[in-house]
Amino acid sequence: MTDDSARNADHDAMTDHWWWRPGWRIGTRFYAWHITQDDQAEVHDLAQRYRTALSTIETLDPIPDEWLHMTMQGVGHVEDINIAALDFVTLRVADRLRVLAPITTSYLRADISSEAVSLTPDDPAAFAEVRRAIRAGITDALGECSESEDGFRAHVSVAYGNADADAAPIREALDRAEPAAPSTATYTKVSLIRMHRDQRMYEWDVIREVPLGE
């Protein structure tokens, strides 16, 4: 069983998030399943509260509302997956997600990982279940699923680190900004996106949307 309290414990220092992962470069386009935050007004308000608190910290890159997301599962590089295969993935993922209910959750405290400041939902296990369903759908369609099932941490990042930095002043700024009451979000769909990070930010087009539940 995963110890979420330990996984979400603050790091003492941050580092640059923008190192190039294997297979990534300027021009890379990648298919992935994300839970976007485009219709989550309370998440936007909470993110803005923390972005404002962190605005003087130059080692952080704030994430605009339009690019807030919860990473769920990668599918693969665009050049490796044709449209027919992508349609089949979407169909099988939809079959798997049909039996899961929409998720209502809340966020409050911002956590500090080695590369990001993020919001953790109060029921991370619900999102882990969604990810397992997505992985099963991808495997149904393609025979395998990239990335490990282990190590998943449900979160919505609000800022990425862009250099080595001490986390202590970041923690102090976040604590001063923490609101008294949590922010609520209800998620009814998962999005298949085509993403890139050409401009030191994850940006995307939504290719498909699949509902949670019937």
41-64 confidence digits (pLDDT tens): 999 999 999 999 999 999 999 999
Pairing of strands 30-36, 69-77: antiparallel
With H, G, I as helix, E, B as strand and everything else as coil, classify residue 214.
coil
Rounded to an integer, what distance in angstroms lies between the CA atom of residue 205 and that of residue 207? 6
pLDDT for the residue 138: 98
Fold (CATH) for 27-211: Cyclic Phosphodiesterase; Chain: A, (3.90.1140)
Q: Which two tokens stand for residue 37?
A: 């935050």
Q: Is residue 77 within 8 Å of 115, Cβ to Cβ?
A: no
Calculate what percentage of the chain has a pLDDT beyond 70.
Answer: 95
Burial class (CB in 10 A: 0-12, 13-18, 19+), 214: exposed
pLDDT for the residue 5: 42
Whether 12 shows a pLDDT value over 60: the answer reads yes
pLDDT for the residue 3: 40
Rounded to an integer, what distance in angstroms lies between the CA atom of residue 35 and that of residue 52? 24
Sequence-separated (6 or more) residues with CB below 8 Å from residue 76: 30, 31, 146
pLDDT in tens, 144-192: 998 888 989 999 999 999 999 999 999 999 999 999 999 999 999 999 9
How far is residue 67 from each of residues 11, 21, 38, 141, 203, measured CA to CA in Å? 24, 20, 8, 28, 6
Domain ranges of the chain: 27-211
